[in-house]
Structure 1
Amino acid sequence: MKERSIRWLMIVSSVFGLLWIGGLGLTLGYYFSDAAEAPPAIAVTAKAEPPKQTEAEEASFRLLALGDSLTRGTGDPEGKGYVGYVSDQLKTKSKQPVVADNYGINGQTSAQLAAQLQQIEMKSQVQAASAILVSIGGNDLFRGGETLDNLDPKNIQGIRDEYLRQLDTIFQQLRKDNAEATIFLIGLYNPFIALKDSEATSKIVRDWNYEAAEVAGRYPQTVVVPTFDLFQLKVQDYLARDLFHPNAAGYRLIGDRVASLIAW
């Protein structure tokens, strides 16, 4: 009788033990199943938004300068060029912080500027600009003085046609990347007006500026800034020692005119 009781007790204990183990297995199964379905903690981090610009950065007036040695400031002992004088004036007038980025390259032609605007960094700069200053064409036309040896109208026309084609490409790209910023194209002056053939060279420069203005007129918020008259009467007073680039006084004249046209 005693042996039978012990046997039944062992059977009952085994049954309860199996039930406990089964329950534990189900519990662990549900636990790990939920854990596997739950999104990992890193997913939350991945959804975080990138840091935004500070209020100061968003409020800045960004001046982007493109083009040749005129933009670079060659000939100015202080290296400021017209871009530096424009920036100085804007800083005295504006309550906004003014940031000037100068990408001028000595010797740059219109074709080279058109290629430069395809660079990712330049696209970013153009997109962020409040105003864009462009001086380009002097190297296309004068070619380091080479053109002075051949002032034949057909030769000049061929040079001008290629420049106008590139200028149109430049404006197209600038407007594609930034539809809001005002673009200022700096017109050409005649650095050779005091030399022989001044009548011919002056006509060439005036015609060049006129045709460039016609191209600029196809694009909204695009302004041609004349400079021919600034150098016309006293060109020697405003040229650097190379008798081609402006000196500090010449750059200041250009800078004053550009700054007066920039609206807030």
Structure 2
Amino acid sequence: MKIFLQSLILLLVSVAAFGQASVEVKYLQKKNPRVNDPGGEFFSNDDFATLVSNGDISTYRYGQGGEGKKVEKDDNNNIKITYSDAYGFVFHRDKGKRKFISRDLIKDQPFIITEDLAELKWEIQADGVREIGGYHCQMAVTEFRGRVYEAWFTTALPLDAGPWKLAGLPGLILEAKDRQGIIQFIFAGIRLVSDEEIDWNKPPRQGISIGFEEFYETRERKDEEFFQKIASYPGVTITPNKHKGYFEVSH
């Protein structure tokens, strides 16, 4: 294992120096607004996600190949509605241009969201260490848009990248979660890839162009309209989630 890791690190450094390869990381992404409630597992949305990065340009994506609106019901008459489409959810980070471009959905409508690159203020925890996938990792904590995130990064892979919008540490982020446990990114594998293998490491397309503030406010308004509509039906009682399952819960 030690020889393998040393070889991987040397290979990564050499190909990065010539700009001929990138790293691909697989994550199990879990989003569950009722993670601490009895029977809350029903509300979990689990996806296998992929991050590709050369340290300067990164793209994180999941949910490709979706089929639209999906309605699920459990034995307690709880209902879960999810939306997806063929292009999925994409988060593209360009350090050079200082821009972040995302593809997200509000119900079944796709949006392309452009914003300035956020500077996350991390606090590295000297006593927080663990091993993930054979890599020695250290913990760092940051607060971002309503959530406190704990991330585990490794300086053995000195890439400024991580899942979703989490980045800005002196090493690749292999795992992360918010302190409530609603959002989790669990390491599932890593490999080196050539740039030709990941031609999707570029800004997303296929959606209505919008800024982050407008997107956030539009989503809040659409959620409220939906709850009011359902609550108006005779004999229907609706209990919205106490905690939202979105990555960002403030702006």
Larger strand fraction of residues: 2
TM-score, normalised relative to structure 1? 0.27
Say which one has the larger Rg. 1
Larger helix fraction of residues: 1
